[in-house]
Amino acid sequence: MPTFVIEKNPSDERGTLLAFLEAQRGGLRRALLGLTAEQAATRPSASELSLSGLLKHVVETEQGWVRRAQGLPPVIARDESNWPESFRLLEDETVEGQLAHWAAVAAETERYVQSVQSLEETFALPEAPWFPPNTRVSVRWVVLHLIEEVARHAGHADIIRESLDGKTAFELVAQEQATGA
């Protein structure tokens, strides 16, 4: 399982924010350690959530927010008709492929956050019923939102993983350290 190498200086705000984001990414990646594709797709509760689905959703979400901040359209436009697909791997998608894609998305997030003149730079939120009209948010807001989003889903991943085989975050950190994954 790849570990993302993020160039950051934790003594400055950008580096600190990116370090917190990477720490949350690590929680979700660790939840997938040692699982088969079938285990990663398992939904052990009444919820439709699986570890592989959470992974795909988080990757799409991070990429979408960074592209939005850059003034670019999303790579995959989601609406009611295809929203469920953002939470499950399709026939040609794999956990390994999603992890590799996430590494590229994380690198682009890093590049973008480090490239802006100021974290105070803003961009308009798209028209959507859940956003107030004519709202602008800052690059800082985007990074904080990504931390929140990944952390929420890393917490879901902890619960799903523990439901699958009883492994907790502590055990998965030890496993990651032991295997160098």
Pinpoint the alpha helices (H) of 5-50: 13-31, 37-41
Q: Dump pLDDT digits (tens) for 44-90.
A: 998 899 999 999 999 999 999 999 999 999 999 888 888 889 999 99
User: Which stretches of the chain are assigned E, i.e. beta strand?
Assistant: 122-124, 136-138
Q: Can you tell me the distance from the alpha carbon of 163 to that of 158, in angstroms, rounded to the nearest whole number?
A: 9
Least-confidence region, from 96-105, 141-150, 165-174: 165-174
The percent of residues in the chain predicted with pLDDT above 70, rounded, is: 93
Q: Give the total number of structural domains in the chain.
A: 1
146 part of a folded domain: yes
Q: Can you tell me the distance from the alpha carbon of 6 to that of 8, in angstroms, rounded to the nearest whole number?
A: 6
CATH number (domain holding residue 166) = 1.20.120.450
2 part of a folded domain: no
The pTM assigned to this predicted structure is 0.90
| AA letter at 149 | E
User: How many beta carbons lie within 10 A of that of residue 75, not counting itself?
Assistant: 10
Q: Can you tell me the distance from the alpha carbon of 143 to that of 21, in angstroms, rounded to the nearest whole number?
A: 8
115 part of a folded domain: yes
pLDDT on residue 180:
78
pLDDT on residue 8:
54
1 part of a folded domain: no
Domain with 151 in it: 13-179
Token readout for 85 is 């697909």
77 part of a folded domain: yes
Token readout for 60 is 């799409």
4 part of a folded domain: no
User: Are residues 52 and 95 in contact, defined by beta-carbon separation less than 8 angstroms?
Assistant: yes
Task: Please check the confidence at residue 4 and state whether its pLDDT lies above 50.
Answer: no
